[in-house]
Structure 1
Amino acid sequence: MAEVTSCVPYPTIDDSSFDLIVYGTGLPESILAAAAATSGKTVLHLDSNPFYGSHFASLPLPSYSSFLQSTLPTHPPLSTNGSASSSPYQELVLEACRVYSDVQITASNLPDSSTKFYLDLPGPRVFYCADMAVDLMLRSGASHHIEFKSIDGSLMYWDGRLWSVPDSRQAIFRDKSLSLAEKSQMMKFLKLMQTHIALESAAPPPEDGNVGVSSEDMDIPFTDFLKKQKLPPKIRAIILYAIALADDDQDDGAAFRKSITTKEGIQRISLYISSLGRLNNAVGAFIYPLYGHGELSQAFCRCAAVKGALYVLRMPIVSLLIDKVNNQYKGVRLASGQEIFSHQLVMEPSCTVSSTILHPLHDEALQRSTSTRKVAKGVFITSGAIEQYASNILVIFPPRSLLFEQSTTIRVLQICGNAAVCPLGTYVVYVSTYCDDAHQGKECIRAAMKTLFTIPDSNSCEKDIDLNDGSASKPTLLWSAIYIQELLQASTGPIFSSPMPDGDLDYRNVLESTIKLFSSMYPEAEFLPPKVTSNTEEEGNFSD
């Protein structure tokens, strides 16, 4: 987990030239550093922060609050000692853009042990047991530096209360919220999915002509396919939002929303099904890293260091060095004044270059792709669990389930003390949803907050929703942070920029962007080739 320490004088870096400089120790940058070092490149990995992880870090509560509310960093003016005219380089000042806004933090009856809380910047976030991120950790050796806890299960909000998500034959039979007809429909659909997935992987195709889902249905909206199966609204919601994890209202029909096709829906269900029972001690489809998601960046940094990468924290880059003759990137100037040269540079997503001095030839390379959508996030500390018998759980609020204006899925992840991110008896709860503007997003986060928690000294005249028909009280809110995060995409060119955490529940899109960056940088190199491991190593470190 990230530790924030006091500043020390800038050290001198012995070597002055590297194949690659990576600025920022977020997960994408750390994976790129490990991949480059593994392929034999010399790597210098820098971070202006005194901790690992950047926007993917897990921070102690006081540091987390400071990081969200911090002003943009400033550095001393460049000292050229009158040699600017004789220098062969033009210096482009590196600046930081604001990625967090509308931050609101409140506290009530917070325990004195506040430094024992470690909060994820990229949360809510989990891993599928069978996704590419787990495979990447296993084959790179990063799994030896990190342990995981199981997510106990998933709940979905429907008709004013929370229900368990029946995601397997056994769960469907045990579920008391489904009627016999609904259980039969759910079983029939899961059997169809399993048959189709098995047939797709079969070679040659079966002689009986059974093809599962027809090719015509594969390209239609998944919600239309579910309707063709005559599934009722509740079952469709479970499949679309709790298993396939659709972001947007699939029945909205608005052109600018992402509609999942049947093909994509089946791929997501296949990943979910293959994750069930894959790993020892994982009772469901999802796992969570012990000590928080910041451990992932550190694990890949350790892999890179083993391969020779050099690490320096608390070392800001203040400017880029551009050749005056051919306008090509050559290196960087550090806050210490030292010039370091490299063939390529990767920058963390909040870095940009002042447009007033940006050379036209570098404009395309340094322009960030910013999504018009944002991510509204809430982080909460509570005195009790949302569900009495589940400590680490995922909660899904389908679109329109809380507010009429709620056009996106709201996802909630509750983590308890057994993940070593909070004292026993308290819980950390992450909430997020995509949004088009800050007001819309924060209203959705507040609606989920009021539904799940008892808010002390609330002056709101709105009546809290009782999730359990009065049979149990809701957990009390002790601390909260609600804010908006910008979505910055990866960019390629002479200078590469890594992506911000997106609003998804898993890392698939982030990893795909990272792999594309590496392929653009080193098209001839293999991306983190598998290590030879024993059978006992293949499962990594998973805790009971």
Structure 2
Amino acid sequence: QRVLHVDSKNYYGGNWASFSFSGLLSWIKEKQQKTEVSDECEDWRKLILENEEVISLDNSDKTIEHVEDFCFGNQDSAEDVEEAGALSKLPLFGSSGAQGAAQDPEKESAPVENTLPEPAASSDPASATGGNETEVTPEREGSPDPASGEPASDVGETEAPTENAAQEPKKITYAQIVREGRRFNIDLVSKLLYSRGLLIDLLIKSNVSRYAEFKNATRILAFREGKVEQVPCSRADVFNSKQLTMVEKRLLMKFLTFCLEYEQHPDEYQDYENRTFAEFLGTRKLTPSLQHFILHSIAMVSEADCSTLDGIQATKKFLQCLGRYGNTPFLFPLYGQGEIPQCFCRMCAVFGGIYCLRHSVQCLVVDKESGRCKAVLDHFGQRISAKYFVVEDSFLSESTCKNVCYRQISRAILITDQSILKTDSEQQVSILRMPPMDSGQPAVCIIELCSSTMTCMKDSYLVHLTCPSSKTAREDLEPVVQKLFSLNTESEEETENEEVEKPRVLWAVYFNMRDSSGIDRSSYDRLPSNVYVCSGPDSALGNDCAVRQAETIFQEMFPTEEFCPPPPNPEDTVYDEEEPASEDSGLNNAPEMKPEPSPEEGGSEEGATGEPEK
């Protein structure tokens, strides 16, 4: 298929994007000022024919609200500080991928510490890479049972202790954060990849994984009795744990084994199907600490309203993901979650997709007789015809969405000076699910990233907090931030000795993000049958919702085609200048590659290229 991707923003990914520190500051300023996109072609309605009508689109993004940022250092000291390596004459690109990498020569040579090994079960030499760089690769048949919880590798747990581990954390100033701003890759949405989730399977199948590298989440944490502690989740962790008694270890392993085989023992849970998972755990002779670990750190479900069956299934999913790539079920992409959409963009561009940023669309043009959308008009008054149109929810006008009821996500992003649970190693990627502080409030998912994820500068940590909204993001999340972190400024820190043990927040931002997932197509008013709506990020930890949505939309358009098939090897591709290959041409229905016309013949130097990426 011939694909044109048009976006009014100047960065890829929408609300899935990631930014450098200066890029995020620009994004914050834009959202706080709520700048409108001006129409360059004011008389575009004159271009509509008599037998056509329009569905107006909205280029003023209303998906982000209540943006509040705070600096806990001396901002005046950073007034004359310039970002290292920045190109001041070019527009600020927020993301670290296709554009960011081109502008940042340091990124190409930056050392990647402790990246993941290939899966333990894989012996495919083609999947091995030089040095520490890692690919996500499929496993071969006959691999060890991941449900056993045995780690696939000890990488991620065995980094050498650093010299500073037992010392006081280095004092980081706001000026340093600004100067090292390009070391940050700050995600708007905070997620992890389940090692056996739909996204990992899709990355492997489509070979998009070649464009990304991943790191294990190294620790699962819990907050209990006023302190943060590490949760044993694999078999090895359980038996090596000093937190649990021998009796607790046996009880925990017996329950986890039951969850893996629960379909074979329906009599053990059927009587509790109409009761909550928390109530079911109370009947299993588990101690309060084990119930807490299972509920909040393994199943990661709500204590108040998660059913017994949903809790058991969530526990099983967690256990099945153990051991595929490391000692926890989760992976995190180096340079941030914003790399993932750009990886798919790169694959599309290699095979002829064209991408236009800073290019807004005024309206959809609908044929009155057939009721189908036939074209769009852009901000230059240019008509672009197509058979199918995929529109991100945020571009739909208020009149189209008048019957839609949106949910909201509360987000906070912190830059801190030390980890919420200090150990011998500074390079830890941790996930902590904070139980609700009061009844009626949601649990808060906290992901703490270290500098080896290439998302923050050395000696700092990037902390993401996420929960479904009940109020503004600051009202939802600030109580959790105050419980885990010190918010004292540099001048106050010396007098507040009781806060010394907590990590100090250097900078923070709070915002609410629209969650448009799960909305039925019929909720949108007057939507033509060949216009498909995709949502922004949801509040779940994984990416399964987005993958299912993409596949559903694709199958509705092309029911006989395979979704994201393995691409042909560019070296084996036959270039045909006359006729494109038919659907049964033996290339797995992949789009045909054609030589790109030269700029003199009307080709674009910035669009897709017929040559494979180097």
C-alpha separation between the residues in 2 aligned to 1:437 and 1:351?
A: 25
C-alpha separation between the residues in 2 aligned to 1:521 and 1:222?
A: 40
Q: Using the TM superposition, give the Cα deviation of residue 146 of structure 1 relative to its aligned residue in structure 2, in angstroms.
A: 0.4
Distance 1:326 1:392, change over 3 A: same
C-alpha separation between the residues in 2 aligned to 1:519 and 1:464?
A: 59
C-alpha separation between the residues in 2 aligned to 1:398 and 1:532?
A: 47
User: For 2:377, which of 333, 354, 359 is the aligned residue?
Assistant: 333
Q: Please say if 1:323 is aligned against 2:359.
A: no
Q: Which amino acid aligns with 1:172?
A: V
C-alpha separation between the residues in 2 aligned to 1:435 and 1:465?
A: 33
User: For 2:556, which of 509, 520, 533 is the aligned residue?
Assistant: 520
Cα offsets for 1:137-179 (capped at 9, x unmatched)? 0001110000001111111100000111121222222323334
Q: Please say if 1:130 is aligned against 2:162.
A: no
Select between 283-292 and 483-492 the one with higher mean Cα deviation: 483-492
C-alpha separation between the residues in 1 aligned to 2:512 and 2:4?
A: 32
Cα offsets for 1:107-150 (capped at 9, x unmatched)? 22322222321100111x11111111100100011100000011
Indicate the residue corresponding to 1:351 in structure 2. Answer: 395
Cα offsets for 1:293-325 (capped at 9, x unmatched)? 111011111222233222222211122212244
Indicate the residue corresponding to 2:76 in structure 1. Answer: none
Aligned partners of 1:219 and 1:261 also within 8 Å: yes
Q: Using the TM superposition, give the Cα deviation of residue 404 of structure 1 relative to its aligned residue in structure 2, in angstroms.
A: 2.1
Structure 1 residue runs without a partner (length 5+): 1-40, 200-209, 252-258, 356-362, 534-544
Distance 1:309 1:194, change over 3 A: same
Aligned partners of 2:192 and 2:330 also within 8 Å: yes
Q: Using the TM superposition, give the Cα deviation of residue 238 of structure 1 relative to its aligned residue in structure 2, in angstroms.
A: 1.5
Q: Please say if 1:118 is aligned against 2:82.
A: no
Q: Please say if 1:61 is aligned against 2:21.
A: yes
Indicate the residue corresponding to 1:370 in structure 2. Answer: 405
- For residues 74-473 of structure 1, the aligned pairs below 5 Å read 74-76=37-39, 78-80=41-43, 83-84=46-47, 86=49, 88-95=51-58, 96-107=60-71, 108=73, 109-110=173-174, 111=176, 112-123=179-190, 125-196=191-262, 199=264, 213-218=268-273, 220-246=275-301, 248=302, 250-251=303-304, 259-279=305-325, 282-353=326-397, 355=399, 369-371=404-406, 373-389=407-423, 391-399=428-436, 403-405=437-439, 407-438=441-472, 441-457=473-489, 473=501
Q: Which amino acid aligns with 2:384?
A: I
Q: Using the TM superposition, give the Cα deviation of residue 220 of structure 1 relative to its aligned residue in structure 2, in angstroms.
A: 4.3
Q: Which amino acid aligns with 1:370?
A: C
Distance 1:104 1:459, change over 3 A: farther
Aligned partners of 2:233 and 2:328 also within 8 Å: no
C-alpha separation between the residues in 1 aligned to 2:5 and 2:49?
A: 29
Cα offsets for 1:346-380 (capped at 9, x unmatched)? 1122111352xxxxxxx5xx667433x42111100
C-alpha separation between the residues in 1 aligned to 2:541 and 2:339?
A: 17
Aligned partners of 2:555 and 2:561 also within 8 Å: yes
| Identity value in percent | 25
Q: Which amino acid aligns with 2:307?
A: T
C-alpha separation between the residues in 2 aligned to 1:313 and 1:283?
A: 40
Distance 1:43 1:464, change over 3 A: farther
Classify the secondary structure of the residue corresponding to 1:350: helix
Cα offsets for 1:259-317 (capped at 9, x unmatched)? 333332222222211211102xx332111000001110111112222332222222111
- Richer in strand (by share): 1
C-alpha separation between the residues in 1 aligned to 2:504 and 2:48?
A: 63
Q: Please say if 1:498 is aligned against 2:534.
A: yes
Aligned partners of 1:322 and 1:329 also within 8 Å: yes
C-alpha separation between the residues in 2 aligned to 1:94 and 1:72?
A: 16
Q: Please say if 1:511 is aligned against 2:547.
A: yes
Aligned partners of 1:72 and 1:97 also within 8 Å: no
C-alpha separation between the residues in 2 aligned to 1:81 and 1:334?
A: 9
Aligned partners of 1:97 and 1:351 also within 8 Å: yes
C-alpha separation between the residues in 1 aligned to 2:557 and 2:463?
A: 38
The two structures have a TM-score, normalised by structure 2, of 0.68
Aligned partners of 1:192 and 1:212 also within 8 Å: no
Cα offsets for 1:46-99 (capped at 9, x unmatched)? 112222111101111222233244215322264448945755433333113411
C-alpha separation between the residues in 2 aligned to 1:307 and 1:216?
A: 54
Aligned partners of 2:220 and 2:297 also within 8 Å: yes
Q: Using the TM superposition, give the Cα deviation of residue 243 of structure 1 relative to its aligned residue in structure 2, in angstroms.
A: 1.1
C-alpha separation between the residues in 2 aligned to 1:477 and 1:348?
A: 34
Distance 1:91 1:516, change over 3 A: same
Aligned partners of 2:44 and 2:377 also within 8 Å: no
Classify the secondary structure of the residue corresponding to 1:385: coil
Q: Please say if 1:47 is aligned against 2:75.
A: no
The two structures have a TM-score, normalised by structure 1, of 0.76
Distance 1:464 1:285, change over 3 A: farther
Aligned partners of 2:234 and 2:328 also within 8 Å: no
Distance 1:516 1:72, change over 3 A: farther
Number of aligned positions between the proteins: 450
Q: Using the TM superposition, give the Cα deviation of residue 191 of structure 1 relative to its aligned residue in structure 2, in angstroms.
A: 2.5
**Which is bigger in relative contact order (C-alpha 8 A, separation at least 6)?**
1
